[in-house]
Amino acid sequence: MPGGLSFEISRSMRDVLLGADAPVTLTRRAAGVLAGLRSDRIGRGHADGLVISRGEDDLRWWTWAGYRANATLKATLGSAADEAQRVDDLSIRLRADLRPSIWRGVVDTVQDRLCLPEVDEKALAGLKFSDALPRHLAVATLAARLANLDHARAVLLEPVRFAR
């Protein structure tokens, strides 16, 4: 089972980038790095929603949802997500040709039919008692453990802005 950040930790990171005070004492160096990150507006979003940013060669949805919710969202988005990407904690790479006019339709189509994430073969091999389970039950067990349906659904319902 991969590690990854939780929804709560990822959202707390976003909150700090949006200006919330970190509940720790920062060194001068850390404060400087944080100031630099705050000035780089790409991806952090706005207080009322999320951002889909277009880079030179990719389109990235900054979900700030954590690994499990992003794995669920990637599986749910199907062909709207870039199939070659690896899931991470903060964003999902979308198909580069996806346009704002299409995005709302994609969300409307998938928000009521969330999918369980794909399971890696290495994770199956590491599942305790996997030899005693039929393959389809082992896959279903790991997919259910990996999913974060509640937070994935919440992220789908958040407002989104497209930005360069």
Q: What is the pLDDT of residues 8-26, one digit of tens each?
A: 999 999 999 888 988 899 9
* Average pLDDT of the chain to the nearest whole number: 90
Supply the pLDDT for residue 55. Answer: 83
pLDDT for residue 31 is more than 70? yes
Any domain includes 2: no
Confidence band (pLDDT; 50, 70, 90) for 2?
A: low
What does the block give as tokens for 146? 């990996």
* Average pLDDT score over residue span 64-85: 95
Instruction: Report the alpha-carbon distance of residue 57 to residue 60 in Å, rounded.
Output: 10
How many alpha carbons lie under 13 Å from residue 164 in its C-beta half-sphere? 1
Tokens 């073969």 belong to which residue? 121
On the question of pLDDT at 41 being above 70, the answer is no
DSSP state letters, 80-118: GB-TTPPP-SSEEEEPTT--HHHHHHHHHHHTTS--PPP
Predicted local distance difference test score (pLDDT) of residue 155? 97
**What integer is the mean pLDDT of 44-62?**
86
Contact status, residue 130 vs residue 124, Cβ threshold 8 Å: yes
Q: Is the pLDDT of residue 1 over 60?
A: no
Least reliable range by pLDDT among 34-43, 76-85, 109-118: 34-43
* Structural domains in the chain (count): 1
pLDDT at 50: 94
**What phi and psi, each to the nearest 5 degrees, are found at residue 101?**
-65, -25
Q: Which residue has the higher pLDDT, 3 or 155?
A: 155
Is there a domain that residue 133 lies in? yes
* Residue 153 belongs to domain spanning: 7-163
CA angle centred on 110, ends 60 and 147, rounded to 5°: 75
Res. 91: pLDDT tops 60: yes
Q: Is the pTM above the cut of 0.85?
A: yes
**CA 13 to each of CA 54, 79, 162: distance values in angstroms, whole numbers, following the listed order:** 22, 29, 21
Q: Is residue 1 part of a domain?
A: no
| pLDDT tier for residue 42 given thresholds of 50, 70 and 90 | low
Whether 10 contacts 62, CB under 8 Å: no
Considering the domain boundaries, does residue 69 fall inside one? yes
* 40: in domain: yes
Residue 54 lies inside a defined structural domain of this protein: yes
Classify residue 52: in a domain, yes or no: yes
